[in-house]
Structure 1
Amino acid sequence: MDEQRQTLYYGLIDQLLKCPNGQEPEVLDAHPDLLDAGLIQTMFQVATAMAHHDNQDGAKFLIYVARELSRQLGLYPQVQGEGAS
C-alpha cells in the first residue's frame, strides 16, 4: 500500500469519525474507490491506536464500521447456523 493511498484512508476515517451519527453510509458511498481490504486494515489499526490512547468509544465505532464494511465487501465470513446444534 502506498503512502498516498494510506493518507486517503486516514482522511476517510477522519470524515467517518466527525460525521453526524447515521451519515456514515453517505460518507462511505462518496468514496467507492477506497472501499477495500486496505481501508478495513487501516481502520483496525487506527482503532487499536485509539484504544491504547483511552478512546474506547472511537475504537469501538471504527471496529463496528470496519466489520460492517467488510461484510458488505464479502471479506468477513458470516457465521452460519449460530446457536444451532
Structure 2
Amino acid sequence: MNEERIQAYLALIQALLSCPSGEEGQVLQDHQALIDEGFLLVCQQVAQQLQGKGRDDEAGFLLNLAQQLAEYLQSTTQ
C-alpha cells in the first residue's frame, strides 16, 4: 500500500464520518475504486485511534462499516 493510497483511504473515511446521516452509501458508491482490503485495514486502524480518543460512536461506525464491506467484498469474489 503506497502513501498516496493511504491518504485516499483517510480522505474517504473523513468524508464518511462527516457526511449527513443516510448519505454514506452514496459516498461509498462515488469512491468504489477505494473499497478493498486495504481500506478495511485502514478503517480498523482509524477506529482504534478514535476509541483511544474517546470517540466511540465514530469508532463503532467505522468498525461496523468495515464488517459490512468485508462481507460485501467476500460475496463479490465467490
| Alignment TM-score, normalising by the size of structure 1 | 0.85
**1:2 corresponding residue in structure 2:** 2
How much has 1:53 moved relative to structure 2?
0.7
Matched to 1:53, the amino acid is K
**1:83 corresponding residue in structure 2:** none
Which protein has greater RCO, CA pairs closer than 8 Å, 6+ apart? 2
More helix by share: 2
CA offsets 1:36-58 (integer angstroms, 9 cap, x no match): 00000000000000001110111
**1:42 corresponding residue in structure 2:** 42
| Alignment TM-score, normalising by the size of structure 2 | 0.93
- C-alpha distance in 2, partners of 1:74/1:23? 23
**2:11 corresponding residue in structure 1:** 11
**1:26 corresponding residue in structure 2:** 26
State the 4+ residue runs in structure 1 displaced beyond 6 angstroms.
none
Gaps of 5+ in 1: 76-85
Structure 2 residue matching 1:73: 3-state secondary structure: helix
Larger radius of gyration: 1
Gaps of 5+ in 2: none
**% identity of equivalent residues:** 37
Structure 2 residue matching 1:74: 3-state secondary structure: helix
Matched to 1:69, the amino acid is L
- RMSD over aligned Cα, in angstroms? 1.0
Matched to 2:11, the amino acid is G
